[in-house]
Amino acid sequence: MTAPAPPVPSASPAGPVTPASLRPGTPPRRHADGATLVCFFVVALMIIPARLVFRALPLSITPANFAALVAALCWLCAHFTNTLGMAKGRTPVRTALFLFLTAMLATYGYATYGYLPSDELNLADHALVLLVAGAGLALMVCDGVRGTGRLDFLLQIVVAAGAAIAVIGACQFLFELDLTRYLALPGLRYTSEDGFIGARSDFRRVAATTGHAIEFGVVCAMIMPIAVHYGFEARRRAEPALRWWVCTALIGMGLMFSVSRSAVLSLTGVSVVLFLGWPARRRVQALAVTAGFLILMRIMVPGLISAFYNLFANAGTDDSVRYRTHDYEVAAYEIAKHPWLGRGAGTWYAPKHQVFDNQYLLSAVETGLIGVTVIVAMFLCGIYSGLRARRLSADPGARDLGLALAAALVVPLIGSATFDLMSFATVTGLSFLLIGATGSLLRSVSSAAAARPRGPAPRRLRAGAVAGRLFASRRRSGGTGVAPAPPE
C-alpha cells in the first residue's frame, strides 16, 4: 500500500498568501537607527545619577559617556559604507564640530608635548576622551537621525526624561525624599558622597539626578522650549496635547525648585528668543500662563518667589557673586602664560587650583583663546542652523522646532558666564545633543526644500523687445496702435 500523496495547497481566490509585513497598507517594520542609539544615551544621561561611574574602569566613565563613545564609533564605522543610511556631505554643524575637535587635539598635543604632572596628565587624557565622545554624539545626531519624524521621536524622549528628573527634584524639594538612592545600578560607584539636596534661603536646593542644583535648573531651562513646542504642535495637529503641557509644567517646577539664579537668567534668554519668533497671540498666551504659574507656585511654596527676587535684589552683596568676580586677575595671569592653546583641557581643577565659576575663563585658561573661540562658535553655529532651518522650511512644525532649538542653545552661552558649565556631565551632554539636532533638522529641511517643485519664473522682457512688439502691433493695425479684430 502506498502512502497518500500530501495535499496540494489550493489557490486562494484572492491570490497567493503574503506575509502580514508585506501586505499593502501595512507599515514597514522599523529597524533600529541613529535615533534609537541616541535615545539610550538620553536615558543614561538624565535618569542615571550623574555621579555614578563604572567601578572597574581606570577613568571615571559614566554610562552616558560610554553610550556617547559607542555612538561616536558607530558614526565613524557607518561612514565607511553607503548602506546604513548615514547622511553624507558637509553641513555647518559638522564643520563646527570638526573645528572643535581639531582645536581640542591641538591643545592636548601642546599640553602633553612638555612636562605635565601625573595627576594633570591623567585628567587631560580623561577630558580628551569625554570631548571626543560629546562631539561624536553630536555627529551621530546630525548624520544618523534622518527625517523630522525620527528627530521628533528623539526630542520627545528628551522632554519625557526632563519631566522625570523634575519629578525626582520635586520629591527632593517637597518631601526631602531622595529617589536617586534607588537608581544606583550594579557595577557603578559614586564619585563623591555629597548628597543631591542642599539648602539656600531657608529652602531645600535640589539637583535631581544631575551633579549640582545650578546644573539642574539650567537643564530644565534648556528643555523647556522644546516641551512648549510639542505642546503647541500637538494642538495644531489636533492630537492629545495634555501630556506635553504636563511635562512643561513639571519642568518649570523643577527649574523653580533648583533655587538657581543661573536658571532664571537662562530662562530669560530663552523667552527673548521665543518672543521674537512667536506670533502676537502666542506671546499673550505665554504671558498669561506664566503669570498663572507664578501665582500657583506662590500658593504651593510660600516665600519661594520672594527668595528668587532676593537673589537678584541682593546680588551686589551676595557672596557667590563676589566669588565669581574676584578671580579675574588669576585667570588673566594664567591665560598670559599660554594664550593660544592653553595649558590643557581638564588640567585646572580644584582643590589644586582656584575654581573659576565661569566657563569662558576656564576654557581660556585650559584651551586658550583658540579653544574658547571654537566653543562659542560651535554653539552659535547650532543657533544659526536652527534659524536657517526655520527660514527654509514651509512646514509650520519644522519652523517652530528650529526656533525652539535655537532658543535652547542660547542657554549654554548664558550659563557659561555664571558657572563652569562644561565641568558638569548632564548639561554638557545635552548641549552636544541639541547641537546635533539642529544639524539634523537643517539637513531634513534642506532636502525637502530642494525636492519642492518650483513654478516657472515670470518672463521679463527687455525694453527693446517690448518696443519691437508694440511696433509690429501698430503695423498690423494700420498705425492706430489697436490690433485688428479677428475674422468672423
Query: For residue 133, is pLDDT > 50?
Result: yes
pLDDT band at residue 209 under the 50/70/90 scheme = very high
Query: What integer is the mean pLDDT of 142-164?
Result: 97
pLDDT band at residue 301 under the 50/70/90 scheme = very high
Name the average pLDDT for the chain: 88
Query: For residue 308, is pLDDT > 60?
Result: yes
**What pLDDT is recorded for position 313?**
87
**What pLDDT is recorded for position 468?**
54
Cα-based angle 103, 105, 111 (whole degrees, multiple of 5): 100
Cβ–Cβ under 8 Å, residues 410 and 376: no
Q: Using the structure block, give the residue that is written with the C-alpha cell 516641551.
A: 227
Query: For residue 340, is pLDDT > 90?
Result: yes
CA atoms within 13 A on the CB side of 37: 23
Q: What are 313-326's pLDDT values in tens digits?
A: 887 677 677 767 77
**What pLDDT is recorded for position 452?**
80
pLDDT band at residue 177 under the 50/70/90 scheme = very high
Q: How far apart are CA 207 and CA 88, in angstroms?
A: 39
Query: For residue 67, is pLDDT > 70?
Result: yes
The structure's pTM equals 0.87
Query: For residue 483, is pLDDT > 70?
Result: no
Query: What integer is the mean pLDDT of 14-38?
Result: 60
**What pLDDT is recorded for position 210?**
96
User: Considering only CA atoms, which of 288, 259, 42, 229 is closest in space to residue 169?
Assistant: 259
Query: What integer is the mean pLDDT of 343-350?
Result: 94
Q: How far apart are CA 438 and CA 153, in angstroms?
A: 14
Query: What integer is the mean pLDDT of 471-483?
Result: 50
Q: What are 245-291's pLDDT values in tens digits?
A: 999 999 999 999 999 999 999 999 999 999 999 999 999 999 999 99
Q: How far apart are CA 263 and CA 221, in angstroms?
A: 6
Residues 6+ away with beta carbon under 8 Å from 50: 62, 209, 210, 211, 215, 424, 425, 426
Percent of the chain with pLDDT strictly greater than 70: 85
Cα-based angle 200, 159, 85 (whole degrees, multiple of 5): 140
Query: For residue 478, is pLDDT > 60?
Result: no
